[in-house]
Amino acid sequence: MKNKVLELFGLPTSRPKIDWASVARDQHCPYLDRKCLKNRKSEPDISIGTCTVGYGKEGQGVLICPFRLLERQQIFTDCVHLLTLHEPGNEFHVVSEISIPGGSIDYVLVSARNNRVKDFVGIELQTLDTTGTLWPERQRFLQSHGVTVRLADVDSGKGFGMNWKMTAKTILVQLHHKIETLEHISKHLVLVLQDRLLAYMKAQFSFDHLQQARIGDSMHIHAYKLTEANGSQRLDLGERLSTDSSGIATCLGLQASPHVELTDIIELLESKIGAHTRLTPAAPPPAGKPPPSEP
């Protein structure tokens, strides 16, 4: 099957009776409830909007935007059990982009009472990076649905591929340093990804020592699968694994010490939580860093 766009601005491209001209004009991301952050480098005011593409011989869906993982905020609900100090009456907050030695954490799920942090768990999102460009395929799809686009865009012979190797290696290197920090202060880190990416990582790296998830382990992996539901693609938790810092491959040593005191992270979190970060089913979490732009 030809590689193609399966979801654009959160909508299935197979769904009939969609005004794609309005969708492309509005550039709205339903997972962030704001303008899509995936912009073109050459035209920063234009959002690409591609969430999922069909790739491979069978054209199976591959997630390429990390914000696509925020569907229903299920990934946060699935981490609640790792808040081992949470108590009834505490509120849940979701805070984005918390800096720690070795980088930053995409999201932190916080258990708090009266805006005082009682416990937290770090959450990293990872989807596949693409090679080449998706833009011509996106434009051809819009043109096929009556949207006026530039001929130079649809006539382009450029295509796209999946950067499986670099994506997998990069996230493992980053995880190693981040889990050392959180393990030092007895907190959990969760990697959220698609099952197809996890399958690739299992085949290319040594994953035999990973086991079914145990709360006592500091590093957790939650793999989600795309399933068909009422003409749309739905994310469901498929597999959970866990390990510790020694179980994550070590590459590219850091200059900064990964150790940081618990009070330092709590102080940073408490400076950020408030009514706007409170986790509710109707409100998406604040946006983290945007995914890479396309030329």
Q: What is the per-residue pLDDT across 128-147, written as a single tens digit (0 to 9) for each?
A: 999 888 999 999 999 999 99
What gap in Å lies between CA 47 and CA 44, rounded to an integer? Answer: 7
Q: What is the per-residue pLDDT across 181-217, written as a single tens digit (0 to 9) for each?
A: 898 899 999 999 999 999 998 887 777 788 899 999 9
pLDDT at 261: 63
The two structure tokens encoding residue 247:
């179980």
Pairing of β 91-100 and β 60-63: unpaired
Q: What is the per-residue pLDDT across 1-35, written as a single tens digit (0 to 9) for each?
A: 466 899 999 999 999 999 999 999 999 999 999 99
Residue 238 has phi, psi (to 5 degrees) of: -105, -45
What gap in Å lies between CA 37 and CA 48, rounded to an integer? Answer: 8
